């Protein structure tokens, strides 16, 4: 075994032991840990800000202002971190929920009960508070967590971790419920990805390169999304004003998030009258376009899309446009080009809307709403550790409930199968 | 790309197209396909039995009588296969179930709805009817399936597949909803295990070597169990008669199934009086034993267990025995030696029983019942495609509902996030 593997095993063994204790801890104990951790964050504010200053001082000159800003922790941001922990306390306990129960003719009573997953590996980039947020959700859902933040924020991560450890200790929990990687060694990440049995789930949050590396190499199950190539389909029956309002929000509210609409699909029946207005609205906000031939028949000045544009997640003020003939063509386009993230239809025709909702397999399908609602807070989950687009276990925003699994409790009175 | 990869991609592309159509098919259409397939199995009985005879004739002499029997299809077994399909028709439709729904303050209405996984790969050994059973569950749950049975039953598999194809055609569904591997080429299995994106889930059913190969090599998510090292813990408060009846069933009803109890844990408070009786009951049925030192103090003639025996799934008439001091020691033993499959406690003390139920993370935990109840039929699922002990997506018996995932339908009236 390599050094990294041995080191990682030490972490996962400790996490596994800690997880067993945490799984049996009452909600009150878990909440106490979060309360005490929030307090410790506030008490340690100066220390955290100073550690962060050391990280910032060590930043390479290549890093731009946006990156520096994401990395920066002010006392206000530490306060926000503490408040975030307190908000998690207020969320309902996801453990012990009885998901289903039934009794068989032989009298055996079955209960499907929510339990923690066990040990979660959280790999993230740039913003140091993601570590605190993730740790809070893991503790609340009874999971031990191993945190691996960006290499450039190691001092910040250690200072934040010290506060989390204070909280665990104060509540009488094993400090190994929250651990951080001891160094930025990439081999440690590699070992984490291979640690089947030691880690139950890995959640990567960050840029495409990170997520794709994790998806490619991990033997451990991963909840993630790489692409958010979302579509908004304006059906012939759409109310023009609603279409204008929704599309503007779906494309331009924040262009860099996974729920931003990247492609507009518009029915040929409504395109001649509505497309010019939609384009004008977006152009006024600085949006650029890539359009198919049919769209350019309506607005010749639109740049022509090439083949790869409809498979491109712009994460910018650029919108791909295709004119389609009806909902089946729209569904076909989504199936060919989408990433199973979020799609929306704008329509007054309920039959067509249902066809669209039933006809696509994306994690989230919306009728008469903006794709930008794909977010744990907007879903009412209270908190979100990430968004998943895979098919197994959890899809869409990953909140507290999605960090649990279940097992069966079977209550008998001496039944044998015979 | 290798030949196997290219060939496999042809299968998965066809399956993916078929799955898209199947996902939108009404329950009636899916049931019609099963009804027509059952009819076709009966019509093709002679052909299936003849194909099976060719497989049996080609069997190597190494294969024992039990193996030959598992491979054999008589007209009675074909009839049982057809009846099995009809039983799946009667099960409730797992698709379209609304798993949760809620409305947000902004008026957005959320529904979490059950949808098919997509494309399932079913890898199985020896019994040809597993292919028909699995195909029925997949069709009913809206999934396309690629079947890969044992290399020695290829003719049988093809004949059964012809009947399934008849059923799909009669119902107007794409025949590629059910496909079989064209040959026994092991490289094809390897390609299937790597087909992320082409296949959504792989379910292996067979011996340890098969399951472990799949778990080791698969990039695609797998629902499986390798080990069923189940424990029955007799607490000091157990009713002796109940303990005797349950343990006899749990160990000896069928020793070769994953739900058979492999280790007896018995409280030191009750062992002196009860252990001799339990051992006598089991010995009378031909059971052998491996006992720890404390058990041998009570019954010196018991063979001494060595270190590895408590980590051994006997799948035979052998029982490991350990004497423990209370439920926490029992839980510790289970955590160290178990395979997270099924554990049972026999007790009258409800507090202790709850401690046991809450204190182990196994897929199934039972109170006053035999571990042999870990079975989809006994759970009331109506049918079972396998048993899973992993943490993600589904644990315990995998029935129709576990072959689905979900997505969110979000119904708005023009909301924007703003």
| CA dihedral sign, ordered A18, A23, A25, A28 | positive
Q: What is the pLDDT along chain A (418 residues), one digit of tens a residue?
A: 789 999 999 999 999 999 999 999 999 999 999 999 999 999 999 999 999 999 999 999 898 888 899 999 999 999 999 999 999 999 999 999 999 999 999 999 999 999 999 999 999 987 899 999 999 999 999 999 999 999 999 999 999 999 999 999 999 999 999 999 998 888 999 999 999 889 999 999 888 889 999 988 998 999 988 789 999 999 999 999 999 999 999 999 999 889 999 999 999 999 999 999 999 999 999 999 999 999 999 999 999 999 899 999 999 999 999 999 999 999 999 999 999 999 999 999 999 999 999 999 899 999 999 999 999 989 998 888 888 988 888 999 999 999 999 999 999 999 999 8
Task: Please judge whether B366 and A335 are an interchain contact, meaning their C-beta atoms are less than 8 angstroms apart.
Answer: no
Q: What is the pLDDT of residue B227?
A: 82
Q: State the best of B219, B414, B418 to mutate against chain A, taking most chain A CBs within 10 Å.
A: B414
Residue-wise pLDDT for B32-85, tens only, equals: 999 999 999 999 999 999 999 999 999 998 988 888 999 999 999 999 999 999
- A45–chain B nearest CA distance, Å: 33
Q: What is the pLDDT of residue A231?
A: 98
Tokens of B328: 């926490």
Q: What radius of gyration, in Å, describes the C-alpha atoms of chain A? A: 24
When CB atoms are compared, the residue of A117, A373, A395 closest to B417 is A373
Task: Please judge whether B410 and A364 are an interchain contact, meaning their C-beta atoms are less than 8 angstroms apart.
Answer: yes
Count of beta carbons in the 10 Å neighbourhood of residue B207 = 12
- A42–chain B nearest CA distance, Å: 32
- B379–chain A nearest CA distance, Å: 8
Q: What is the pLDDT of residue B287?
A: 97
Position B389 confidence tier, pLDDT thresholds 50, 70, 90: confident
Nearest-CA residue of chain B relative to A22?
B359
Tokens of A261: 């609409």
SS3 B352: helix
Are A311 and A337 in contact by the 8 Å Cβ rule? The answer is: yes
Task: Please judge whether A393 and B395 are an interchain contact, meaning their C-beta atoms are less than 8 angstroms apart.
Answer: no
Q: What is the pLDDT of residue B2?
A: 86
Mean pLDDT of all residues in B273-283: 98
Contacts with B361 from chain A: Cβ below 8 Å: 20, 23, 115, 118, 407
- B143–chain A nearest CA distance, Å: 12
Q: What is the pLDDT of residue B197?
A: 87
Task: Please judge whether B373 and A242 are an interchain contact, meaning their C-beta atoms are less than 8 angstroms apart.
Answer: no
- Please give the C-alpha separations between residue B272 and each of A67, B248, B255, in angstroms, as whole numbers: 69, 18, 26
Residue-wise pLDDT for B87-96, tens only, equals: 999 999 999 9
Contacts with B390 from chain A: Cβ below 8 Å: 221
Q: What pTM was computed for the model?
A: 0.91
**CA neighbor of A324 nearest in space, from A228, A229, A230, A235:** A235
Tokens of A404: 């649990």
Residue-wise pLDDT for B180-205, tens only, equals: 999 888 899 999 999 988 999 999 98
**CA neighbor of B76 nearest in space, from B52, B100, B99:** B52
DSSP A202-231: EEEES-HHHHHHHHHH-SS-B---S---EE
Task: Please judge whether B361 and A23 are an interchain contact, meaning their C-beta atoms are less than 8 angstroms apart.
Answer: yes
Domains and CATH numbers, chain A: 3-222+398-411 (3.40.605.10), 230-373 (3.40.309.10)
| CB-count burial class (<10 Å; 0-12, 13-18, 19+) for B63 | middle
**Pairwise CA distance, residues B260 & B249, whole Å:** 9
Q: What is the pLDDT of residue A2?
A: 86
Q: What is the pLDDT of residue A224?
A: 86
Judged by phi (left if over 0) then psi (alpha if -120 to 50, else beta), residue B206 lies in left
Nearest-CA residue of chain B relative to A199?
B391
| CA dihedral sign, ordered A376, A377, A379, A383 | positive
Are B173 and B21 in contact by the 8 Å Cβ rule? The answer is: yes
Greatest alpha-carbon span in chain B: 78
Interface A:B, Cβ pairs < 8 A: 187
Task: Please judge whether A391 and B417 are an interchain contact, meaning their C-beta atoms are less than 8 angstroms apart.
Answer: no
Task: Please judge whether A412 and B249 are an interchain contact, meaning their C-beta atoms are less than 8 angstroms apart.
Answer: no
């Amino acid at each position: 075994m390599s050094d990294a593997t041995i080191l990682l095993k030490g972490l996962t063994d400790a996490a596994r032991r800690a997880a067993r204790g945490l799984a049996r801890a009452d909600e009150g104990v878990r909440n106490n840990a979060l309360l005490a951790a929030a307090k410790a964050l506030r008490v340690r504010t100066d220390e955290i800000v100073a550690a962060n200053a050391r990280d910032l001082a060590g930043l390479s000159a290549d890093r731009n202002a946006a990156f520096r800003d994401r990395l920066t922790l002010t006392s206000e941001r530490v306060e926000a971190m503490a408040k975030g922990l307190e908000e998690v306390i207020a969320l309902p306990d996801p453990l012990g929920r009885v998901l289903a129960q039934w009794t068989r003719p032989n009298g055996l009573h079955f209960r499907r009960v929510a339990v923690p997953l066990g040990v979660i590996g959280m790999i993230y980039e740039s913003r140091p508070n993601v570590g605190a947020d993730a740790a809070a959700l893991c503790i609340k859902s009874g999971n031990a967590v191993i945190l691996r933040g960006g290499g450039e924020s190691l001092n910040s991560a250690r200072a934040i971790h010290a506060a989390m450890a204070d909280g665990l200790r104060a509540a009488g929990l094993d400090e190994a419920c929250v651990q951080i990687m001891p160094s930025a060694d990439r081999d440690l990440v590699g070992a984490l990805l291979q640690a089947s049995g030691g880690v139950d789930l890995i959640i990567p949050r960050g840029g495409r390169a990170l997520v794709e590396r994790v998806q490619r190499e991990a033997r451990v199950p991963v909840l993630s999304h790489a692409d958010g190539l979302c579509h908004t389909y304006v059906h012939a029956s759409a109310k023009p004003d609603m279409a204008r309002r929704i599309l503007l929000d779906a494309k331009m509210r924040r262009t860099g998030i996974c729920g931003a609409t990247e492609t507009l699909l518009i029915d040929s029946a409504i395109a001649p009258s509505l497309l010019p207005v939609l384009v004008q609205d977006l152009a006024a906000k600085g949006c650029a376009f890539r359009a198919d031939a049919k769209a350019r028949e309506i607005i010749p000045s639109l740049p022509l899309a090439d083949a790869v544009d409809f498979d491109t997640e712009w994460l910018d003020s650029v919108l791909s446009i295709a004119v389609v003939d009806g909902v089946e063509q729209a569904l076909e386009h989504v199936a060919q080009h989408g990433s199973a993230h979020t799609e929306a239809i704008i329509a007054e025709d309920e039959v067509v809307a249902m066809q669209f909702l039933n006809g696509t397999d994306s994690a989230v399908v919306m009728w008469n709403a903006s794709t930008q609602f794909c977010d744990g807070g907007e879903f009412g989950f209270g908190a979100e550790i990430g968004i998943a687009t895979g098919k197994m276990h959890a899809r869409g925003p990953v909140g507290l409930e999605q960090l649990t699994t279940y097992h069966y409790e079977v209550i008998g009175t001496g039944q044998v199968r015979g």
